[in-house]
Amino acid sequence: MSSPITEFRRNSLVSLVERVVQATPVTDIHTHLYDPALSGLLLYGIDDLLTYHYLVAEAFRVHRIPNDRFWIMSKTEQAELVWNTLFLERSPISEACQGVLTTLHRLGLDVKKRDLPALRDWFQQWPAEAYVTRCMELANVETIYMTNSPFDDAEAPAWQHGLLRDDRFVAALRIDPLLVDWPNAVRRVARWGYEVGEGLSANTVSEVRRFLTDWTRRIEAAYLMVSLPPEFTYPGDSDTAQVLEKCVLPHCEEHGLPMALMLGVRRGVNPALGLAGDGSGRSDLCALANLCSAFPQNKFLVTVLSRENQHELCVLARKFPNLHIFGCWWFTNVPYLIDEITRLRLELLGFSFTAQHSDARVLDQILYKWDHSRRIIARVLIEKYTELVAAGWEETAAEVERDVRLLFGGAFKEFCRS
């Protein structure tokens, strides 16, 4: 039978876990941030923070501005609208709003003055490179994984010309058009000099693989990735299932790279909202089980958007060692669900998952996303270690450090190496 732990033991456990969780550097395995060498693509500063699509969605709920009028406004004007609507006319209580406040606070800015022009002035002083270092140090993030798409006209040419890379940023190859918009993607790939046609002939398969190989090498991709709708099924005759099976997974296996599947996004539920208009739905995880078992030599990095899929995903991960769960994605990246999901994963999987990724689109967001997640993860771990102590198991500081490293990128790296 377990016995209650003394107050002294509990206090020392609390301070140990809090210290370790703060001090352990994070590998942020999925973001939309860019190596500063991809100049102009990295977003940062107050106007980008305020026009983050999470906040735009919330502003549209209460400000009756027609969508088309909002989209023709300058970024400064959009930021002002969001600020007035969500921060001045009501308290900034939502997770995305609190995120802006935490970020500013961590940067040493006085948020209670509610002075947007002064905040803007402060950000002016920062050149991109110095600010990257400042944010990464403050957030204690050591490596940032990017999302790099050959189909993105804003970034692809820069990769083709060659870049002097910042080694804190790791590339990951984004291939959504190939999997969710095959007819259009194939036309673009053909224009880039690959002999591909709409039918998946042996020649098209080999040319798509040549295209993937070229980009994998060009950007030195650490993994490939796609976000898929709830309707995704496998096996099947859909373009998605066929391209995945014939081109993408054989490519990943050949290069020893994981495939990241982000499941459950319903794009364009309200297209007038742009990026803010995407929604979520419950996926049929039989598709994932079928993939894990049909491709035992492949590695799958998986996160799911629907709360209802979280438990089933953990159960699947217990069946398939080639499945690694990561992060609390997007609409699940709120304290209430991070707490629930982290608890669930620890209870079913121990330390064999990656607790969080930031999905940051604006550099400074790593401050709040990691700050908020660290706070919750520490709280859950304290509870779990307390249970161990009550069962007579004394945790050493080195053991806690080892465990937290696993959650913050160590288990991911082991999985990628395996």
Closer residue to ligand FIX (CB): 204 or 358? 358
Closer residue to ligand FIX (CB): 151 or 330? 330
- In the complex, least distance from residue 195 CB atom to ligand FIX, rounded to whole angstroms: 30
Closer residue to ligand FIX (CB): 24 or 373? 373
> Rounded CA gap, 131 and 418, in Å?
35
- Contact call for residues 404 and 27 (beta carbons, < 8 A): no
Site map 328..347 versus ligand FIX, x via CB under 6 A? --x-----------------
Segment 202 to 231, residues that bind ligand FIX, using CB under 6 A: 227
- In the complex, least distance from residue 280 CB atom to ligand FIX, rounded to whole angstroms: 10
End-to-end CA distance of the chain: 38
If phi > 0 it is left, if psi is from -120 to 50 it is alpha, else beta; for residue 309 that is alpha
DSSP 152: -
- Contact call for residues 235 and 245 (beta carbons, < 8 A): yes
Is 359 among the residues that bind ligand FIX (CB under 6 A)? yes
Q: Apex CA 171: angle with CA 167 and CA 173, to 5°?
A: 170
Tell me the CB-side half-sphere exposure of residue 143, using CA atoms within 13 A. Answer: 14
Is 357 among the residues that bind ligand FIX (CB under 6 A)? no
> For Zn ion, which residue of 58, 239, 359, 403 counts as binding (CB under 5 A)?
359
Q: Which stretch binds Zn ion (CB under 5 A): 205-213, 292-300, 358-366, 390-398?
A: 358-366
Closer residue to ligand FIX (CB): 75 or 90? 75
- In the complex, least distance from residue 32 CB atom to ligand FIX, rounded to whole angstroms: 6
> Rounded CA gap, 148 and 206, in Å?
22
Site map 27..66 versus ligand FIX, x via CB under 6 A? -----x----------------------------------
Token output for 218:
């060009």
Q: What residue type is 310 in one-letter code?
A: Q
Helix (H, G, I), strand (E, B) or coil at 227: strand
Binding site for Zn ion (CB under 5 A): 359
Question: Which parts of this chain interact with ligand FIX (CB under 6 A)?
Answer: 32, 227, 262, 265, 275, 330, 359, 361
